[in-house]
């Protein structure tokens, strides 16, 4: 993979951090900041989902449910039972961990598509419960009065501060994911993706790794969901349905499965796109579907692969050749 | 304790619903057997069956029978197009690629139906007029008889197709071993296209016969598809007749739980059953071989 030397890698990380730090100063107004904050939630979730899809070769159609479970758990505990915000968030993450293990154990022991269907069904159950358990969740009209983020009496209220918290978390989770995929675990996951049988023969405990990465990806979604709840202070079931799960899968696919940079790009791009193209409001679902099909057919590596091809083309052009002559080396 | 006639009522309406889950499940099975793809767009075929019939009447002024046949024919063509445009070019790629593509297809079909037909819920007239028939204290809609009869006919036709025709046997051969089938001179590509057509056909049939009872809209496909898949797992994935039996069992359980426990959660029943089954008995109730384990 290009740019995978450790120097280039460190440079990339440093540029990412610097970019995140100065970006707010370059924005023309507050509105862009809110878009970026939402993109931050999506980035966190997409990073986790990308670990599952790109590295373990499994797909979840219920990640919006984990996003929602964490958001509602911390929302209910802090708004109704007056728990401190960090305790609420911790409880939300703990519940996500438990529930995702409950899904992963039966479905990931089986080969093939069972996780996809299992998570799709699970997502729908959660959506139904959020709507029906009115006493607890507020039902279809939502849960209000969730406190802002805060720690030990200090409330983080301004958008700028929330931006730094959210993208700080995203950055740390990016580093965690990066280290994970370059570790023994990452190699095992890639082996599973390439050939599960071969990996198992070589002594990789495929079942345990797949379950582990699924739970981790659910917890990423939980982190995003908990931060989201304390940012918007109001949650309703609509944000956590099938549509949202598909949106997250599209972010991963468009960015490029198996590329963490791609996950960031896909999340930011697809969060910003509807803001730019207000006119597509009703058509966005068609856009997601179309992107999924076209990416898989023509650009399976997503934006990450596209950028790589482009860079290679530019290098070849600069060297006096033609892009066609470079071919694909993979 | 509810009266026995109430229970009977729940069983009847559940079995009627379940027939459609079964037909959706049958569609999953046909495609899975020839390609090992779980087609996430299966539910959209069911949706198209109902919606196209409704709009053939509303826009084209067709008589009901013709509208239903047209809806089934068009959906079958959609099935063929799905295979030729999106599946064939990526044959042999990894499972996750194929899943994502069928998810993309399902979203595009649903989105297209929303833009074309709007977000409202539409009724389809019953296939025959007439009052509900009293039966041991429960009442039986004439449409339920149509659903039962048509489902049985469809099953019989499938059975004949797989047992008695060359193309049916060729499809079964692909299901057993694609490479061997291709060495025997069977055109596997054609069989895959045919399986998409057949699966779209039975799905659309299920959608069209159910629409007079439950109404239909552009977004019914997700739930119907999922329940069809649950029916497949219940009956043992790969076993077409198990899928239909699984669908009926699922429909009855769902209807009983809606009646006796809570109607709000009835849609959750199918998935609780699905997850439980995957946990304890992934080969399904009638599964012959164990589902593949890692």
Mean pLDDT confidence for B230-238: 84
Instruction: Kindly state whether A100 is in contact with chain B, defined as any CB-CB distance less than 8 angstroms.
Output: no
Q: To which H or E segment does residue A85 belong? A: helix A85-108
pLDDT value at residue A302: 86
Is the Cβ of A249 closer than 8 Å to some Cβ of chain B? yes
Please answer yes or no on whether A289 and B108 come within 8 Å at the CB atom: yes
CA closest to A245 among chain B residues: B103
Q: What is the rounded CA–CA span in Å between residue A264 and residue A255?
A: 7
Counting Cβ atoms within 10 Å, is residue B116 exposed (0-12), middle (13-18) or buried (19+)? exposed
Q: What is the pLDDT of residue B42?
A: 93
User: Hey, are the CB atoms on B294 and A283 less than 8 Å from each other?
Assistant: no
Substitution target in B103, B280, B284 with the highest count of A β-carbons within 10 Å is B103
The pLDDT tens digits for B198-219 are 999 999 999 999 999 888 999 8
Q: What is the pLDDT of residue A291?
A: 87
Structure tokens at A117: 């269907």
pLDDT in tens, A277-303: 766 666 777 888 888 899 888 888 888
Query: What is the Cα–Cα distance from B147 to B247, expressed in whole angstroms?
Result: 13
The answer to whether residue B264 neighbours chain A at the CB level (below 8 Å) is yes
pLDDT at A111: 66
Q: Is the pLDDT of residue A209 over 60?
A: yes
Contact A111 B108 (CB under 8 A): no
pTM greater than 0.90 (yes/no): no
Find where tokens 């209807």 sit.
B255
For residue A121, give the nearest of B97, B226, B294 by CB distance. B226
Is pLDDT at A63 greater than 70 in this prediction?
yes
Instruction: Tell me whether residues A297 and B89 touch, CB distance under 8 A.
Output: yes
In DSSP terms, which residues pair with B135 in a beta bridge?
B138
How far is C-alpha A158 from the geometric centre of its chain's CA atoms?
A: 24
Sequence-ordered list of residues with C-beta below 8 angstroms from that of A213, at least 6 positions apart, any chain: A51, A52, A55, A56, A58, A185, A189
Mean pLDDT over A231-246 rounds to 90
Tokens of B212: 């007079």
Q: Model confidence over B140-163: pLDDT tens digits?
A: 888 888 999 999 999 999 889 988
Using CA atoms in the order B56, B61, B64, B68, what is the torsion angle rounded to 10 degrees? -20
- Residue A290 sits at the chain B interface (C-beta within 8 Å): yes
pLDDT band at A216 (very low <50, low <70, confident <90, very high): very high
Tell me, yes or no, if B226 comes closer than 8 A to chain A by beta carbon: yes
The first and second tokens of residue B245, run together, are: 């039996």
Are A128 and B279 a contacting pair at CB < 8 A? no
Strand partners, A151: A154
Angle between the N-to-C axes of helices B166-176 and B142-164, in degrees from 0 to 180, rounded to the nearest 10: 80
As a whole number, mean pLDDT of residues A62-90 equals 93
Q: CB–CB of A105 and B279 under 8 A?
A: yes
Quick one: closest CA in B to A242, which residue? B222
What pLDDT is stored for residue A166 in this prediction? 93
Using a CB-CB cut-off of 8 Å, the residues of chain A touching B107 are 246, 285-286, 288-289, 292
């Amino acid at each position: 993979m290009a740019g995978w030397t450790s120097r280039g890698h460190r440079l990339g990380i440093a540029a990412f951090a610097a970019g995140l730090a100065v970006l707010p100063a370059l924005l023309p107004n507050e509105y862009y900041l809110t878009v970026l904050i939402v993109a931050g939630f999506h980035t966190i979730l997409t990073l986790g989902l990308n670990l599952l899809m790109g590295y373990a070769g499994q797909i979840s159609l219920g990640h919006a449910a984990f996003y929602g479970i964490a958001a509602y758990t911390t929302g209910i505990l802090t708004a109704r039972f007056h728990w401190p915000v960090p305790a609420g968030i911790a409880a939300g993450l703990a519940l996500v961990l438990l529930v995702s293990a409950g899904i992963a154990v039966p479905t990931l022991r089986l080969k093939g598509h069972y996780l996809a269907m299992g998570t799709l069904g699970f997502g729908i159950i959660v959506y139904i419960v959020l709507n029906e358990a009115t006493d607890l969740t507020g039902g279809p009209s939502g849960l209000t009065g969730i406190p802002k983020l805060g720690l030990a009496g200090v409330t983080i209220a301004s958008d700028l501060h929330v931006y730094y918290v959210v993208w700080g978390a995203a950055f740390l989770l990016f580093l965690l994911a990066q280290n994970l995929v370059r570790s023994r675990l990452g190699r095992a996951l890639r082996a599973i993706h390439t050939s599960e049988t071969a990996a198992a023969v070589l002594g990789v405990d495929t079942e345990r790794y797949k379950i582990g990465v699924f739970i981790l990806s659910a917890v990423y979604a939980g982190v995003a969901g908990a931060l989201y709840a304390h940012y918007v202070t109001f949650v309703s079931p609509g944000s956590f349905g099938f549509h949202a799960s598909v949106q997250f899968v599209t972010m991963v696919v468009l960015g490029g499965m198996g590329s963490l940079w791609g996950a960031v790009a896909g999340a930011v791009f697809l969060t910003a796109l509807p803001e730019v193209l207000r006119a597509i409001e009703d058509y966005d679902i068609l856009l997601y579907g179309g992107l999924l099909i076209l990416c898989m057919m023509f650009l399976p590596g997503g934006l990450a692969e596209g950028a790589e091809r482009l860079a290679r083309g530019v290098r070849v052009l600069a060297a006096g050749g033609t892009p066609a002559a470079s071919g694909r080396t993979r | 304790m509810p009266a026995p006639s109430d229970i009977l009522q729940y069983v009847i309406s559940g079995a009627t619903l379940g027939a459609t889950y079964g037909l959706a499940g049958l569609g999953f099975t046909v495609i899975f057997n020839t390609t090992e793809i779980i087609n996430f767009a299966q539910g959209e075929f069911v949706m198209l069956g109902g919606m196209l019939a409704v709009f053939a009447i509303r826009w084209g002024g067709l008589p009901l029978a013709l509208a239903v046949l047209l809806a089934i024919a068009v959906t079958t063509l959609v099935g063929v197009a799905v295979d030729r445009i999106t599946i064939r070019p990526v044959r042999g790629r990894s499972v996750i690629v194929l899943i994502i593509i069928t998810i993309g297809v399902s979203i595009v079909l649903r989105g297209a139906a929303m833009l074309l037909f709007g977000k409202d819920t539409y009724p389809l007239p019953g296939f025959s007029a007439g009052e509900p028939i009293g039966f041991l204290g429960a009442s039986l809609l004439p449409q339920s008889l149509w659903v039962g009869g048509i489902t049985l006919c469809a099953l019989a036709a499938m059975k004949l197709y797989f047992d008695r025709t060359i193309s049916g046997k060729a499809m079964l051969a692909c299901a057993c071993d694609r490479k061997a089938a291709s060495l025997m001179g069977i055109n596997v590509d054609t069989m895959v296209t045919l399986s998409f057509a057949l699966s779209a056909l039975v799905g659309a049939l299920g959608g069209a016969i159910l629409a007079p009872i439950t109404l239909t809209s552009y977004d019914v496909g997700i739930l119907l598809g999922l329940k069809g898949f649950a029916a497949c797992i219940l009956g043992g994935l790969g076993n077409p007749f198990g899928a239909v039996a699984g669908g009926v069992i699922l429909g009855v359980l769902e209807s009983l739980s809606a009646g006796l426990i809570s109607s709000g959660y009835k849609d959750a029943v199918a998935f609780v059953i699905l997850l439980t089954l995957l946990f304890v008995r992934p080969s399904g109730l009638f599964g012959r071989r164990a589902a593949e384990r890692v």
